[in-house]
């Protein structure tokens, strides 16, 4: 069983489209995250949710909207996609909001905007 699963794995879309990425964890963790990894492999936190409550909302364009219907799911919807949104997006989870035990990452969604 995959602990943190993301779909889709690859996403190729045109500028201006709207797309969603889904994430699910079966670890019973309370906290989930979205990270963006750019072409230089730099990882940046976008959002985190603890038990469906938004905890971290970094400086992200409001075209990005996370949704957590329950603590096992965290989805990311992106409106009006731009070329600069091309990146790998990782979902992760941790036991609690402090994250002292570390994160479990999904395998990533490679988004390409053309």
Partner 1 sequence: AQSVTQPDIHITVSEGASLELRCNYSYGATPYLFWYVQSPGQGLQLLLKYFSGDTLVQGIKGFEAEFKRSQSSFNLRKPSVHWSDAAEYFCAVGLSGTYKYIFGTGTRLKVLA
Residue 82 or 96: the one with the smaller Cβ distance to partner 1 is 96
Of 19-27, 40-48, 63-71, 79-87: span binding partner 1 (CB under 8 A): 40-48
d(CA 79, CA 18): 4
CA distances from 75 to 10, 64, 71, 110 (A): 15, 10, 11, 15
In this structure, what token pair is assigned to residue 46? 């976008």
Site for partner 1 in 48-107 (CB under 8 A): 48, 50, 55-56, 90, 92, 97-107
> Contacting partner 1 (CB under 8 A), which of 45, 57, 72, 77?
45
Please name the residue ranges forming H helices in the chain: none
In the complex, the smallest distance separating the C-beta of residue 17 from partner 1, rounded to whole angstroms, is: 24
């Amino acid at each position: 069983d995959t602990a943190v699963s993301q779909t889709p794995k690859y996403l190729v879309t045109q500028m201006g489209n709207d797309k969603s990425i889904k994430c699910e964890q079966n670890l019973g963790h309370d906290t989930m995250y979205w990270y963006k990894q750019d072409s230089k492999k730099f990882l940046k936190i976008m959002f985190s949710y603890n038990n469906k409550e938004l905890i971290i909302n970094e400086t992200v364009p409001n075209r990005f909207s996370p949704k957590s219907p329950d603590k096992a799911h965290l989805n990311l919807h992106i409106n009006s996609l731009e070329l600069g949104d091309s990146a790998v997006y990782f979902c992760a989870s941790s036991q609690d909001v402090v994250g002292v035990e570390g994160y479990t990452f999904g395998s990533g969604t490679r988004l390409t905007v053309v």
